[in-house]
Structure formats: structure tokens, C-alpha cells
Structure 1
Amino acid sequence: MQRYISKIKDFNELVMFEHSIFSLPFIFIAMIVAADGWFGFWLLIMGALAAVSARNFAMGLNRYADRDIDAANPRTESRPNVDGRLDATSIMIFVLVNAFVFIAIAYMINDLALYLSVPILFVLGSYSYFKRFSHLAHIVLGVSLGLAPIAGVVAVQASIPAWSVILSLGVIFWVAGFDLLYSLQDIDFDKENNLYSIPSRYGADATLFISSLFHMLSVIFWALFVWIAGLGIFAYAAVILSAVMLGYEHKIVRKDFTQIDRAFFTVNGYLGVAFFVFIILDKVLA
């Protein structure tokens, strides 16, 4: 039994399950808006399982593809995919199982969800290889998480309204912006190993500027989402709070690069949850 518990812990560390906090709030935000309130326990469970299995697939494939890179990077050399705790076969089985689970959940939700499930997995998996040939890898990661709101609204109403695309654009630039900040940790390693990233190509100052620009676009798109979806004062408050939190995130990173983990995980985690809570308040109290 202890052996199985240990393996579960290793897989949890592999995909950093707790970081599902980045995608879950926005899939539920889309579901709440699409349903104009509570969307039911069945879709709550299906939405959570779909988000987690999709993220497990993407992170597992990324760790599988990056075994050589992670082994050479001092920051990542102790990850389970390179230190001997999880072999390549086990990781690939984990990836395939999660892909199957995601497709099966999509099948149980509706036809449109099923038709989109494989293309979504393709997009999620493509990020793992983009960094090897394109500086657009940050955008691809943003698109991967930005699909969450569209998946949420498809689950509820089997369509893709304009407001869900605008919400997704906000998520895309939000994720791409904080991934740029996170990539600053590996700027020297990426240069030495010919890996493609905006920090390694353009330097720290340009990266900070582009990240700020991306986050400004996020706030603009989220404000447009609130307006187009016809939401109320609490939803606009969520946008304002998000702008403040993103500004604080950049202040932390600009002051001290060693605080990147704090900015990446803590601030962004709270941002998604806060946005979600304010949307709930908007629907309950409006």
C-alpha cells in the first residue's frame, strides 16, 4: 500500500495537481454565465473531471517530452520524470489514460464536446514541443488554458457564444503574460541550450514589457466580456481587482526576480478564485 501511495505522490508532483487552480475558476465562470446561475451537480463534477484530466494529459506529456531538458536544468533536475522515480513508460501510460478519460467525459456531456475533445487535446499537447522551435510557446500555453472557458460554455449550452471567446482571450493573455515572468528563471539556461523563449531572445526588460502588455490586454478583454455578457457591478469589480493583482504581480517581479514563484503561484491562484467568487456574487445578488 505504501508503494502505491508513494507513486500517487510522485504523479502528483509530476503534474503539480494543485496548480489546477489556474484553469478551474474560469471553466466554472463560463458555466455560471452560460447557465445564468447554478448549472447542476452533474456538470460540476463533469467540468472538474474534464479540467483535471485535460491538465494531467498536458502536464504529463510536457514532462515526458522534456525529460532531456529537465535533466540538464539545475532547477528541474529533481523532478520525478528525470530522477528515476517515474520511468518514461509509466508517464506515457498516465498521459494516455487521462486522454481517454477526457474524451469519455466529453462523450457523456454532449456531441459538440465530443467533437472538440480530440482537437483540444492536440492543442494542449502541442505546447510541449513549441519551445524547441518557436518563441510563440508562451502564447500556445495561453491558448491551452484559454480553452477552459469555451469548454465550460460548450458543456452547458452546446454552443460557443461571443462572450466566451472574449473571456478566453483574456485568459490567453493572462496565462501567456505570467508564463513570460516565470520563464525569466530559465533565461540563461534557455540561451545555453538553444531553447526558444522570449526572455532568451529579447532579454529581461523586453520580457517584462511584453508581459505587462499582455496583462493589460487581459484586463481589457475581461472588461469586454463583462459588458457583452451583460453582467453587473460585481463582475466589473472582479475586473478591477484583477488589474490591481496583476499590477502587484509585476511590482513583485520587478523588485526581486527571486520572488517569481510567489508572483506566479500565489497571486495568479488568488486572481482566478477571486474572479470566480465575484461572478457568483454577481449572479446571486444582482
Structure 2
Amino acid sequence: MNAAAPGAPGRLALYLDLIRWDRPAGWLLLLWPSLSALWLAAEGWPGWHLLAVFVLGTILMRSAGCCSNDVADREFDRHVRRTAQRPVTSGRVQPREALLLGAGLAFAAFLLVLTTTAAAVAWSVPALLLALAYPYAKRFFAMPQAVLGVAFSFGIPIAYAAAQGSVPALAWALLLANLFWVLAYDTEYAMVDRDDDLRIGIKTSAITLGRYDVAAVAAFYLLHLLLWGALLWPQVGGLWFGLALGLALAQVGWHLGLIRKRSRDGCFRAFKLNHWLGFTLFAGVALEYALRSGG
């Protein structure tokens, strides 16, 4: 039998490819800031229930976002070397099929949020709308990565809403701080496809920033670490968090070295490594709380 035949195993493989199952960097980039916020909101260990909700919910929503993004971008993606063979773009999965899968995944994530608080449920709605809007931002905005930055940071206020029942000003300040990190790593991502994107006429931060792209990525990283450190220090400042900030800064230097020559491979590698920076900052927060609680 032909491997491309529409049997169940073949469809499952296509669906897993569609949601980037073998590329976890995407959902890890969403997860670590959300978990940092969850630990901060709970002032330590949040419990297995909330941890499961945020880990599973992050995976489900990122997977749903891949489905809607690939449908929205299918005409563009066929002209980009890196994305031309995606299941929707190549015609192996029909747009309606991908949207139904995405809707099912988003609904499953919503069911998880329903087990938390009314505030978290309410804030999950604009989070979903932002995720759906992002693919269209690149048609109209010079810096669509800013829209992605807000969407990818919305786990922070939802974490506070789930743990505390409300969203304090600190959560929105942390969202802003995290937005600069998203601008940094998604500009690296956009640098990979810059030549293709110029040819097909879509807008990205890499195109808008032009020859200042590397300098801007450096500034975005530094703003992120400066704001993140300043906002969190009163709550979790200490040896472990300070060490985490230092290690994160060292990773920034490594990433800037990778993108300095603007090669596709270097920029893509820097993007894929960013989840370690997020993990480092989360680990600093979690270790500080663990030390204070004696476990």
C-alpha cells in the first residue's frame, strides 16, 4: 500500500506533522514563562492540578495554533523553502480538516481551563483570539512579531488568574517583559526566511529592521532580562535567581554569536535554543521558592 494512502496510521502521522509534534521548542517557549508566572502567583509549588492544566493546555493550544496558522499561511508557505512541505501547504491535509483538528484541540484546552477559576476562563478568550489573529498580522503590520509576543505571553495573566482569581498589575508588566523575549527569538526566526518573505511580499520584523536586525535582537534580549529581573527581584531575588539571570545573559551572548553572520542555519539554531533561556529563568524562580520552603 502507498504510504500516502488515507488510512488511519497515515492520517495520524500527517496530523502529528501538522502540529509539529516532533518539534517541541514551540510549546516550550510558551510554557516556561507561564510556569514562572504560576510559581510567582502561587508563591511556590502550585499543586499538581494547576501544573497539569498549564502543561497540557500549552501543548494543546500551541498545536491548535499550528493548525490555524498553516491554513492562513498556506498560499505564502508554498513559496518558502522551509515551509513548502507542510501538510496543508502540500495538499496532504485539507484546510477544513486542519481547522476541525485545531478546533478540537482548542476545545480540549478550554475544558482544562474550566477546571480552574472564572477569571482564567474569561482571560482565555482574548488569548485565543490573539492566537487566531497573528497569522493575519503579517499582512498589515511592519512588526507582526509584536502581536505574536502578546499572544505568546498571555499564559502569564492566565496563570495569575488561575492561582489567585484575579490579574494584578505585576502580571501585565511581566507580559510586557516577556514580549521583548518573543521579539528577540521570533526576529531570529524571521531572519531565516527573510529572502523568501521579501520575494512574496509579507511583513516581518527581520525585514523592517533591515541591517539593524542583530542590534535590535540584542536590545530585545537585554530589555527582557532587565525588566524580568527588576520585576521579579523583590519577590524571588537571591542566589539562584541571580545565577539564572547570569546564565540567561550568557545564552544571549551565544545566540548573538550564532546570528551575527545572518546565516539561515545560525539564525534557526539560535531560535531553537531559546527554550533553554526560558527554562533557566523558570528554574531560578522555582529553586528560590524551593529553598525558602525547605523542599
Give the Å deviation of 1:256.
Answer: 5.4
Query: Residue 235 of structure 2 corresponds to which residue in structure 1?
Result: 229
**Is 1:26 aligned to residue 7 of structure 2?**
no
Question: Which consecutive residues of structure 1, in runs of 5 or more, have no partner in the other structure?
Answer: none
Maintained 8 Å contact 2:65/2:132: yes
Q: Letter of the aligned partner of 2:165 in structure 1? A: A
- Spell out, residue by residue over 1:83-106, the C-alpha distance to the aligned partner (whole angstroms, 9 max, x if none): 232111110101211222232222
User: What percentage of aligned pairs have identical amino acids?
Assistant: 26
Q: Letter of the aligned partner of 1:49 in structure 2? A: L
Query: Residue 169 of structure 1 corresponds to which residue in structure 2?
Result: 176
- Spell out, residue by residue over 1:18-75, the C-alpha distance to the aligned partner (whole angstroms, 9 max, x if none): 1211111221111112112211111111112221222122221111101111112222
Query: Residue 187 of structure 2 corresponds to which residue in structure 1?
Result: 180
- Spell out, residue by residue over 1:167-203, the C-alpha distance to the aligned partner (whole angstroms, 9 max, x if none): 3222211111111111112222222211112322442
Query: Residue 274 of structure 1 corresponds to which residue in structure 2?
Result: 280
- State the alpha-carbon separation in 1 of the partners of residues 154 and 189 from structure 2: 21
- State the alpha-carbon separation in 1 of the partners of residues 82 and 166 from structure 2: 42
- State the alpha-carbon separation in 1 of the partners of residues 163 and 144 from structure 2: 30
Query: Residue 84 of structure 2 corresponds to which residue in structure 1?
Result: 77
Give the Å deviation of 1:230.
Answer: 4.3
Match of 1:52 among 45, 59, 62: 59
TM (normalized to structure 2)?
A: 0.89
Q: Letter of the aligned partner of 1:68 in structure 2? A: E
- State the alpha-carbon separation in 1 of the partners of residues 16 and 239 from structure 2: 38
Give the Å deviation of 1:217.
Answer: 0.8
Maintained 8 Å contact 2:240/2:284: yes
**Is 1:283 aligned to residue 292 of structure 2?**
no
Which of the two has greater helix per residue?
A: 1
Match of 2:17 among 13, 29, 35: 13
- State the alpha-carbon separation in 2 of the partners of residues 246 and 9 from structure 1: 35
Match of 2:221 among 215, 224, 238: 215
- State the alpha-carbon separation in 1 of the partners of residues 66 and 11 from structure 2: 16
**Is 1:106 aligned to residue 113 of structure 2?**
yes
Identify if the C-alpha distance between structure 1 residues 83 and 29 changes in structure 2 by more than 3 Å, giving closer, same or farther: same
Match of 1:152 among 126, 136, 159: 159
Query: Residue 243 of structure 1 corresponds to which residue in structure 2?
Result: 249
Query: Residue 193 of structure 1 corresponds to which residue in structure 2?
Result: 200
- Count of aligned residue pairs for this structure pair: 283
Give the Å deviation of 1:165.
Answer: 2.5
Maintained 8 Å contact 1:226/1:236: no
**Is 1:252 aligned to residue 258 of structure 2?**
yes
**Is 1:130 aligned to residue 134 of structure 2?**
no
Give the Å deviation of 1:138.
Answer: 0.8
- State the alpha-carbon separation in 2 of the partners of residues 244 and 148 from structure 1: 26
- State the alpha-carbon separation in 1 of the partners of residues 208 and 145 from structure 2: 13
Give the Å deviation of 1:109.
Answer: 0.9
- State the alpha-carbon separation in 2 of the partners of residues 229 and 90 from structure 1: 46
- State the alpha-carbon separation in 2 of the partners of residues 73 and 173 from structure 1: 26
Question: Which consecutive residues of structure 2, in runs of 5 or more, have no partner in the other structure?
Answer: none
Maintained 8 Å contact 2:81/2:196: no
Tell me the secondary structure at the aligned position of residue 193 of structure 2: helix
Maintained 8 Å contact 1:102/1:117: no
Q: Letter of the aligned partner of 1:227 in structure 2? A: W
Maintained 8 Å contact 1:57/1:96: yes
- State the alpha-carbon separation in 1 of the partners of residues 103 and 68 from structure 2: 9
Alignment of 1:84-95 (within 5 A): 84-95=91-102
Moved over 4 A (4+): none
TM (normalized to structure 1)?
A: 0.92
Give the Å deviation of 1:131.
Answer: 0.5
Q: Letter of the aligned partner of 2:10 in structure 1? A: S
